[in-house]
Amino acid sequence: MSMKQQYGAQKDSYHTQIMIKSTIIMIVCIILTLICLVPIFILLVNATHSHTELAENPSQLWFGSALKENLNILLNKLPDDAGKAVTRVARQYSSVFSVGRGYFNSLIIAGCTTVLTVFFSAMTSYGLTVYDFKVKGPAYTFIIAVMMIPVQVSSAGFVRFMYSLGLINNFIPLIIPAIAAPAVIFFMKSYMKSSFPLEIVEAARIDGCGEFRTFVTIALPMMKPAMAVQAIFAFVANWNNYYTQNMILKNDKMMTVPIMVSKVLQFDKNVNYGVNYLCIMLSILPIVVVYFILSKFIIAGVALGGVKE
- Give the CA distances from residue 296 to residues 44, 301, 306, in Å, rounded to whole numbers and listed in that order: 24, 9, 16
Task: Tell the smallest beta-carbon distance from residue 79 to other proteins (Å).
Answer: 27
The answer to whether the Cα torsion of 262, 268, 269, 271 is positive or negative is positive
**Minimum CB distance to other proteins smaller for 90 or for 174:** 174
Question: For other proteins, which stretch binds (CB under 8 A), given 3-11, 64-72, 76-84, 178-186?
Answer: 178-186
Task: Tell the smallest beta-carbon distance from residue 76 to other proteins (Å).
Answer: 20
Residue partners of 169: CB distance under 8 A and separation at least 6: 248, 249, 250, 251, 254
The yes or no reply on residue 163 touching other proteins (CB under 8 A) is yes
User: Which residues, 193 to 232, sit near other proteins by CB under 8 A?
Assistant: 202, 205-206, 211, 215
C-alpha–C-alpha distance, residues 113 and 109, integer Å: 6
Give the burial class of 102: count Cβ atoms within 10 A of its Cβ; 0-12 exposed, 13-18 middle, 19 or more buried.
Answer: buried
C-alpha–C-alpha distance, residues 299 and 216, integer Å: 28
**Minimum CB distance to other proteins smaller for 90 or for 215:** 215
H or E element at residue 90? helix 84-96
How many residues in the shown chain lie near other proteins by CB under 8 A?
A: 107
H or E element at residue 101? helix 99-130
Number of neighbouring beta carbons within 10 Å of residue 196? 20
Catalogue the long-range contacts made by 202-210 (C-beta closer than 8 Å, 24 or more residues apart). none
Task: Tell the smallest beta-carbon distance from residue 84 to other proteins (Å).
Answer: 22
The yes or no reply on residue 10 touching other proteins (CB under 8 A) is no
H or E element at residue 155? helix 151-165
- Judge contact between 70 and 47, C-beta under 8 A: yes
The yes or no reply on residue 308 touching other proteins (CB under 8 A) is yes
Per-residue contact string for residues 119-158; x = within reach of other proteins by CB under 8 A: -xx-xx-xxx-xxxxxxx--x---xxxxxxxxxxxxxxxx
The yes or no reply on residue 3 touching other proteins (CB under 8 A) is no
Choice from 75, 76, 101, 267 touching other proteins (CB under 8 A): 267
User: Which residues, 41 to 100, sit near other proteins by CB under 8 A?
Assistant: 42-43, 46, 55, 57-59
Task: Tell the smallest beta-carbon distance from residue 149 to other proteins (Å).
Answer: 6
**Minimum CB distance to other proteins smaller for 77 or for 85:** 85
**Minimum CB distance to other proteins smaller for 228 or for 299:** 299
**Minimum CB distance to other proteins smaller for 44 or for 78:** 44
Task: Tell the smallest beta-carbon distance from residue 236 to other proteins (Å).
Answer: 5
Task: Tell the smallest beta-carbon distance from residue 220 to other proteins (Å).
Answer: 13
The yes or no reply on residue 177 touching other proteins (CB under 8 A) is yes
Task: Tell the smallest beta-carbon distance from residue 91 to other proteins (Å).
Answer: 18
C-alpha–C-alpha distance, residues 117 and 238, integer Å: 11
H or E element at residue 214? helix 211-214
Question: For other proteins, which stretch binds (CB under 8 A), given 3-11, 16-24, 69-77, 94-102?
Answer: 16-24
Choice from 107, 218, 220, 280 touching other proteins (CB under 8 A): 280
C-alpha–C-alpha distance, residues 251 and 170, integer Å: 9
